[in-house]
Structures are given as structure tokens and as C-alpha cells.
Amino acid sequence: MQQLEALTREASTLANGSEGRSGRAVIPILSAAETEVGRQMQICNACRYCEGFCAVFPAMTRRLEFGKADIHYLANLCHNCGACLHACQYAPPHEFAVNVPKAMAQVRGQTYVDYAWPPALGALYRRNGLTLSLALAAGLALFLILAVALNGTLWGGGLGGNFYRLFPHNLLVGMFAPVFLFAVLALGMGVRRFWREVTPATGSASLSAPAAAEATDAVLRLKYLDGGHGKGCNNDDDAFTLSRRRFHHFTFYGFMLCFAATSVATLYHYVFGWVAPYELPSLPKLLGVVGGVSLMIGTAGLWHLNRQRNPLHGDAAQKPMDLGFIALLFLTSASGLALWLGRGTPALAVLLCVHLGAVMALFATLPYGKFAHGIFRTAALLRHAIEKRQPNPIGLGDE
């Protein structure tokens, strides 16, 4: 193995000294985390017992060597389900020390930083922890509370459930739209760079309808948390559980329903001139309540599972980021529901401030936090669906 690393380093040095025709280095130098994935993939490719679990291993078998782009692609294809770790005959304490979920997670975290847009803000990923997320939400909420208190309408207020009296609609749009649009732009630019980098390494072909359909299915059903056999993935030990997949579904679909609620409400407002608040059984409220409850259930479950997670899974350094995102989602949904339930009480203004603070913190941290995993993984799954439809570049038949 040391020999392999020495060779890799030697090759990298050579390659970076002699530039290719395009003027780009032929083989970019691998980071320590990438070298580790390359080392482990060399072992896995000679074993292949885990091929049935997920997309990573079938993708691996299409390669004999693992360059930077291959490693970035595989790292984002990995769902950190843990199945290959518990099944691995080379896992620690074996001297080969194979722990694919961990090695992949470390590179994955690094790719978020590397592909971040603008690049200078990539460092935010490393600081986007639980404390920061909550502090940001609390800080923003406090700011709003103070602003409202100065206005004299913080408690009681006789607002009649209409929060536009506190924060006019246009003010809210002016606050949230730029932050949200920036998040979309930043993530879009980041994933575009990722896509460009991994495309030549994944067969270069462009997206076809069947490939798009397959990847969409894999994303929407979270296919690769089913363990390959439908019994689920691992959490605390070698037993399979569907709870991670299910709580993730609650979270994802809850989030999407809340997003849909906001979108429908926007349409109501601008197209039909129907102004909030909307009450049951209006569509925005229905979507919002179901979405909010689902998001609370999902994030509470994911939080619990994250705390129970086997310490060998994934990258411990990224846990604060995971928990920060989960906490903000929970806070957003919980405060949103509280706002609805407390709309007729004197606490309306405070609840509104807390909710807006949570939403603003969520939006602000969106492009440089755990949310990115969904975007990058979807891109990797799309590339996988494209790549698997190309002829296998390795002559290794089943000879």
C-alpha cells in the first residue's frame, strides 16, 4: 500500500510538472483524503463483495484507476449507509483498515468546500455547526423581537392574526427573496462545476430521459438507503433498519410540502390577490401544516438516529454541520406550526419573530451546509445513471 501511495505521488508530481496539451495538469495532486479513497478503492475493486449494496461499487468496477474526478464522483454517490463497513472483511482492526463510508464522507465534505461558489465562501462549510446555526437563528429572532418591541407591538397588540401589520409583505419579500435567490445561485454554480469536473470521468455522455428517470427514482425513493435487499441500511450496528430512510422521507417531503405551501401562497398573493393569512382548508395551509408536521417528525427522528449512529460511520468532523441543519429545519417547522396555533394569542409577534429568525438562518446557511448533500448526490446519481448506460470501458469480461 505504501508502494501504491508513493507511486501515486510520483505520478502526480510528474503529471503536474508536464502539462497536457490543454495547458491543464493531467493528473491533479490528490489530497490526503482522496488518496485514502483511492487506496481503499484499490482493495475494494479486488474484492467486490459489496457490489449489491449500492451504486458506488458497480461504478467502481468500471475503473482500474481512481483519479481526482472519479473519487469526487464516488464520494458523492456514497450515501453513508454503512452496509459495506459492517460487511467488510478488511474493516478495522484488519491492517487494511478499510472504512469506505468514512473515507468517502471525508472527501465528500472536502468537495463541498472545493466546489463552493463563490470559492472564498467555501470555508463556511467548516464553521457551519450546530452552535452557529442556532445562534444565528436566535440572533435574528432577537433582532426582530427588539425591532418589534421598539415599535411597541411585541405583546398583545390586537393584530387579529395578521402578521403583515408587523412586517409588511413587501418587507418580508425584500428580506427573504435575495437570501433565497443567492442560495439557489450559489448551489447552482457549485454543482455546475462539480458536474463539469466529473462528466469526462463518467463517460462524457449527456443526460437521456431514461437515465434522468432512473436517477430521479433513486433520489425520490432514496433507493440506496434500502441496503440493496430492501431491509434498509445500518445505523447503530450491523442490523438493518428502514428508520433512516423513513425519517429522511419525512424530512424531505415535509420540506417540499412547506416549499409548495410558500409557492402556492406566492401565487395566491400575486396572481389572485388573495392575501395571507390563509386558514384551513386553504391549500397553502394544508400543505404547510402537513409539511410542517412531517418535517418535525423527520428531523426529530434523524436527530435521534444521528446521536445513535455507530461512531465508525462517516466523518465525525461533519456531525456539527449535520446537526445544525437538522436543528434549523426542526426549529423552522416547529416555530411555523406554533405561529399558526398561537395566531390568536398575545404571543403572535414573538412567535413570528422566532419563526422568521429560524427561516432566515436556514436560508442563510443553506448554500454552505448540509443541504448541499442533496444537490451534489443528485448530480452524482444522474452521472451514474448516464455512465451505466455506456459500454464498460474495462475489458474485464466475465471470463
Residues of this chain that bind other proteins (CB under 8 A): 1, 3-4, 7, 42-43, 45-53, 58, 61, 64, 83-84, 86-90, 92-96, 228-229, 231, 238-239, 394-399
The CA-based angle 46-52-55, given to 5 degrees, is 85
Q: Which is nearer to other proteins, 14 or 317 (CB)?
A: 14
CB of 333 to other proteins, least distance (A): 35
Contact 73, 88 (CB under 8 A): no
Which residues does 20 contact at the CB level (< 8 Å), separation at least 6?
26
Q: Which is nearer to other proteins, 19 or 238 (CB)?
A: 238
CB of 280 to other proteins, least distance (A): 45
Q: Which is nearer to other proteins, 50 or 211 (CB)?
A: 50
The CA-based angle 67-213-204, given to 5 degrees, is 30
Largest Cα–Cα separation, the chain: 80
Question: Among the residues of 157-230, which ranges form H helices?
Answer: 169-198, 209-220
Contact 194, 377 (CB under 8 A): no
Q: Which is nearer to other proteins, 4 or 171 (CB)?
A: 4
CB of 27 to other proteins, least distance (A): 15
* Residue among 63, 83, 62, 77 nearest 107 (CA): 77
Query: Following DSSP, what letter does each residue of 292-352 receive, concatenated?
Result: HHHHHHHHHHHHHHHHHS-TTSS-GGGHHHHHHHHHHHHHHHHHHHHHHHTTTSTTHHHHH
CB of 395 to other proteins, least distance (A): 4
Q: Which is nearer to other proteins, 46 or 209 (CB)?
A: 46
CB of 387 to other proteins, least distance (A): 14
Quick count: other Cβ atoms within 10 Å of Cβ 19? 11
Q: Which is nearer to other proteins, 217 or 238 (CB)?
A: 238
C-alpha cell, 148: 418589534
Contact 357, 142 (CB under 8 A): yes
Q: Which is nearer to other proteins, 5 or 197 (CB)?
A: 5
